[in-house]
Amino acid sequence: MQTENTVGYTNVAWCNHIEEQKKCLIRMTKATNKETILETGKYGPVYRQFAGKPKEAINFLREKQNGECIAALHRNDIGDIDIVWGEVTDPIKHKGYGLAHIIDKHEVEINKLGFNIEDFVPIVVQFGNFNLKKSDSQKKVFESETFRLVVALEKEQDGKIKKWLLSAFDIIKRPK
């Protein structure tokens, strides 16, 4: 037997109404890039509204300094790549992972090349050469003439492989 709640919906209709409201909220969020957290992942809040929008994802994570933007980057050979904020684990030695680490360790060098992080990272990911020798089952390495980006491959609980931007390296040799 279905009962009506206080706003005149049956239980089934109310559930359908809530589901439609949730879908509408997701559509509005994707359209406006406003922050909506519907889930939390290993690296913090999960933001799905930046799929295919790496520049916006990088700027958003830089502002929030927490979370992960799902499928913000893409390469035809490995598919979607997430951008995680990560952390700087040693600010003196510039150790860490994710976007926080790349900004901490390489932003000045990237700026000297005439780029901002939000422009440079997508270019190297998209057009960098895949380095088979430096890649393995846990990471994929992509290089330009000046930089190397590392994409981590991490098996999730559901068996899927999560691909996320781990680190970057300046590969220009400096005199000692």
Mean pLDDT for the chain overall: 81
On the 0-12 / 13-18 / 19+ scale of CB atoms within 10 A, 98 is buried
Q: If you search the block for the tokens 């904020």, which residue do you land on?
A: 85
Q: What is the pLDDT of residue 23?
A: 54
Cβ contacts of 12 within 8 Å, gap of 6 or more = 2
Q: How far is CA 45 from the centre of its chain?
A: 11
Task: Check if the beta carbon of residue 22 is closer than 8 Å to that of residue 46.
Answer: no
Fill in the amino acid letter for 118: E
Maximum distance among all Cα pairs of the chain, rounded to whole angstroms: 80
Residues of the chain scoring pLDDT < 50: 1-9, 11-15, 17-18, 24-25, 28-29, 31-32, 175-176
DSSP string covering 78-132: TEEEEEE--EEEETTTTEEEHHHHHHHHHHHHHHHTT--HHHHHHHHHHHSEE-T
Q: How far is CA 155 from the centre of its chain?
A: 16
